[in-house]
Chain A
Amino acid sequence: MSRQLAAIAAAITMLGLVMLALTAPAHLSDAQRELAFAGPFAGSKPDGSPLAGVAPFGADQLGRSLLQYAQQGAAVVIGPAIAAGFFVAVLSVVGGLMRCVGDQRVDAAIQGFGEIVGALPRMVVILVAALLIPSNSRGLLPLALVWAVLAAPGAMDEAAAVAERLGGARFVEALRAHGFSWSRVFLYHIVALNLRPVVVRQGAEVLLQVTFLELGLSYLAVQKDQSSFTHSDSLKSWADLLYMGYTSIGLGMPTSHALVLGLALVGLVTLMAKATTTMVRAR
């Protein structure tokens, strides 16, 4: 995929997901029994109006449009995922710049932090963190930020390695000797020209991981018939679509269209992350 094509794909998928999130209803619409289990190409209602127009991606067992599930799921995931990706990107920029400054104590502190934080399985830390969230203020953002903190040492280390390959403090000295200002050296030459591919890739990877984390946590909760840690009970996650779709295979329910929609949404986020990474890859 060329960089231009990747940029277009990233922009379209990002825009689509943000639009889905922004147009999400606060609650699912009321049950419409005549639409129960309707597929995306479900023909027409008794009065002749097309079902697909009412529920373009099909409906659940109560006849509620699956599009609303997709919208609410996007609203649950997109903000925290972007925030976590941005947080990691900023931290990896800091990691890279610190290596260019050449302070060994800071380097040692970052490595020590990474050693301790990286020594525990991330999911275990997330579950322990989830215990702290009161049931009346559940949300993905705190867990996404914890995940970002866990991912940060690796990202900072990689950015620092790139900065080291540039020459670290000597690279900065050389550019300063050419008369460039500090801001131009750090922000343009180091961050924009050299760290950009690594920083954006790390951010996009964390965005993807947080999306999958939400899917995982919500799916496990749905499976055990419990409330999710990542959103209130009034909202539906994409995991509900996957679970609904799973029942089509496991229990023979007519909900395979929910599985297709759930997987398509997962694919969309994956495409967005891959396209973003490709868009900024080094020339």
Chain B
Amino acid sequence: MKAWWIRPGVRVLAALLLPLLVPAIITALIWALPGDPAEIICPPSTCGGTSELAARWHLDQGPWSFFTRWVSEALTGEFGMSWRLEQGLPVAALLVESIPVTVKLVLLALVPIVLGVVGAATGIIPQRADGVFATVGLVPALVFALLGSAAVVVKFGASAFSEDANLWRLGIGAVVLGMSDGAFASAVSGVRSVFSAERNQRYVGIAILRGERPLANMLPNVAPALAGQMRARILHLLSGAVVVEVVLGLTGVGDLLWSGTLLQDFGVVLAAATTFACLSAVLLLLQAAVEVGVALHVRRAPPVADAMLAGGG
């Protein structure tokens, strides 16, 4: 049997590596593309001073030098400059504007998913409803998002980018993200299958005979599986946020990443993708924390023999 700490240990290791791995891969891509990286920003045919620009943005001393400088500056909150999207503007400023939008969107989208998880765990949501949720979940986020975008335009007309309209966009985006592409349906069916498998365990039957609530008994045992499922759901939401933000005109990190990709703005892509990697790393750490917490809780429980002695058995 494997030691209990291996799995959370691997997750912590992955969480520490991920924010380094992503910029490393993108840096390698920048140098893998045909031509000199500096010429991507400033093609010599159309602009002068390519070599000065390369020196200023640390592109003249090879990928390793660029990567180490970028990472060391990123640790201090400096993410370099935008290459094309907002040429010369600090990417950190773009991130400061966009991160709160994405965080709000994902947190709001989590509301229906958490309700679904609670409903499935407690049995409030009946199993016969799963078919309906699965059918709704078949609709891609794009289709729901463009219908939502159309609804905002119809409702607000010329003032479709007003403060009120933006709130509507955020709300609609959260519903779209939470319900489409099977997000809600998978959350409900996943939690239901975990709990229904656990309900068949003998200890649950014994807990019921002792007059205890089965949910309270099952929760510590299913917590690692639930944490894994929730991490997968949040990653799914982060992935879907790109489409939803662009279609609904929400200026989040997904929108920033998309715009940077379209314009081959590696400065923006590097920072936005690393932001996603950091968010993913945080999720890995949270999952590891849950696993460690459950493992410690299980080990703190009295050994069976002692408990039997205490009870006179």
**Contact B262 A266, beta carbon cutoff 8 Å:** no
Of the candidates A216, A246, A270, the one whose C-beta lies within 8 Å of that of B243 is: A216
Residues of chain B within 8 A of A266, CB atoms compared:
140, 143
A220: chain B residues at CB < 8 Å are 243, 246-247, 258
**Are A224 and B259 neighbours in the complex by a CB distance under 8 Å?**
yes
B-side contacts of A246, CB under 8 Å:
146, 149-150
Shortest CB distance B288–A (Å): 11
Contact B143 A121 (CB under 8 A): no
Query: Is B277 touching A120 in the complex (CB atoms < 8 A)?
Result: yes
Given known contacts A121-B238, A123-B242, A224-B259, is B141 in contact with A216 (CB within 8 Å)? yes
The answer to whether A132 has its CB under 8 Å from any CB of chain B is yes
| Chain B interface residue bracket vs A | 35 or more
The answer to whether B262 and A250 have CB atoms under 8 Å apart is no
Cα–Cα, bound, A274→B281 (Å): 34
Residues of B with C-beta under 8 A to A128: 25-26, 29, 261, 269, 273
Report the contact-size class of chain A (Cβ under 8 Å from the partner).
20 to 34
Contact between B280 and A132 (Cβ–Cβ < 8 Å)? no
For B275, the closest partner residue in chain A by CB is: A124
0/1 interface trace, chain A 110-152, chain B, CB 8 Å (1 if under):
0010011011111110011011101000000000000000000
- The CA-CA distance from A132 to B25 in the complex, in Å, is 12
Pairwise interchain contact A112-B10, C-beta atoms closer than 8 A: yes
Whether A219 pairs with B247 at a CB distance below 8 angstroms is: yes
Q: Chain B's nearest CB lies how many Å from the CB of A62? A: 22
A226 close to B (CB within 8 Å): yes
B18 within 8 A of A: yes
Residue among A121, A134, A219 with max Cβ neighbours from chain B (10 Å)? A121
Q: What's the minimum C-beta distance from B127 to chain A, rounded to whole angstroms?
A: 17
Interface flag for B235 (CB, 8 Å): yes
Shortest C-beta distance, B256 to chain A (Å), equals 11
A87 at the interface (CB under 8 A from B): no
Task: Find chain A residues with CB under 8 A from B281 CB.
Answer: 119
| Cβ B258 vs Cβ A127 within 8 A | yes
Give chain A interface residues in 94-117, CB to chain B under 8 Å. 112, 115-116
Chain B: which residue is nearest A248 at the CB level?
B150
Chain A residues contacting B261 (CB-CB under 8 Å) are 127-128, 130-131
The answer to the question of B226 belonging to the interface, with a C-beta cut-off of 8 Å to chain A, is: no
- CB atoms of A249 and B243 under 8 A apart: no
Is the beta-carbon distance between A119 and B14 smaller than 8 angstroms?
A: yes
CB-based contact B142/A250 at 8 Å:
no
Docked complex Cα distance between A145 and B18 (Å): 22
Known: A120-B22, A130-B261, A220-B246. A274 touches B280 (CB 8 A): no
Q: Does B70 contact A (CB under 8 A)?
A: no
Given A121-B280, A221-B262, A249-B153; A127-B138 close (CB under 8 Å)? no
Return the CB mask of B158-196 against A: 1 if under 8 Å, else 0. Answer: 000000000000000000000001000000000000000
A contact residues around B236 at 8 Å (CB): 121
Chain A residues with CB under 8 Å of B241's CB are: 121
**Per-position binary interface string of chain A over residues 203-246, scored 1 when its CB falls under 8 Å from any chain B CB and 0 otherwise:** 00000000010011001110110100000000000010010001
A128 to B238 Cα, complex, angstroms: 15
- On whether the beta carbons of B247 and A223 are closer than 8 Å, the reply is yes
Partner of A226, one of B25, B32, B240, B262: B262
Shortest distance in angstroms between A130's beta carbon and chain B's nearest beta carbon? Answer: 6
- Inter-chain contact A216/B239, CB cutoff 8 Å: no
- The residues of A that contact B150 with a CB separation of less than 8 Å are 246, 249-250
B276 at the binding interface (Cβ < 8 Å): yes
CB distance from B197 to the nearest CB of A (A): 12
Contact A127 B257 (CB under 8 A): yes
Q: Which residue of A lies closest to B262 (CB)?
A: A226
- Residues in B whose Cβ lies below 8 Å from that of A223: 246-247
On whether the beta carbons of B142 and A216 are closer than 8 Å, the reply is: yes
Q: Does any Cβ of A come within 8 Å of B284's Cβ? A: yes
CB distance from A227 to the nearest CB of B (A): 9
A118 → chain B closest CB, angstroms:
8
B264 at the interface (CB under 8 A from A): yes
A185 at the interface (CB under 8 A from B): no
Query: Looking across the interface, which residue of chain A has its beta carbon closest to that of B154?
Result: A249
Query: Could you tell me the distance between the alpha carbons of A128 and B25 in the complex, rounded to whole angstroms?
Result: 9
B11 within 8 Å of A (CB atoms)? yes
Residue among A121, A124, A223 with the highest chain B CB neighbour number at 10 A: A124
Q: Does B310 contact A (CB under 8 A)?
A: no
Residue pair A120, B146 in contact (C-beta under 8 Å): no
**Cβ–Cβ < 8 Å partners of A242 in chain B:** 142-143, 146
| A266 CA to B180 CA, complexed, in Å | 14
> Closest Cβ of chain A: how far from B149's Cβ, in Å?
7
Given the interface contacts A115-B10, A224-B262, A226-B262, does A123 sit within 8 Å of B239 by beta carbon? yes
Once A216-B141, A216-B142 are accepted as A-B contacts, the answer to whether A119 and B18 lie under 8 Å apart by CB is yes
Kindly state whether residue B308 has any CB partner on chain A within 8 Å: no
Report the 3 A-B pairs with minimum CB-CB distance, sorted nearest first.
A121-B239, A249-B150, A212-B140
Task: Give 7 A-B pairs besides A120-B276, A127-B242, A131-B29 with Cβ atoms closer than 8 angstroms.
Answer: A120-B280, A124-B239, A124-B242, A128-B273, A216-B140, A250-B153, A250-B154
A sample of 7 inter-chain contacts (CB < 8 A) reads A115-B14, A116-B18, A120-B18, A124-B273, A219-B247, A220-B243, A274-B138
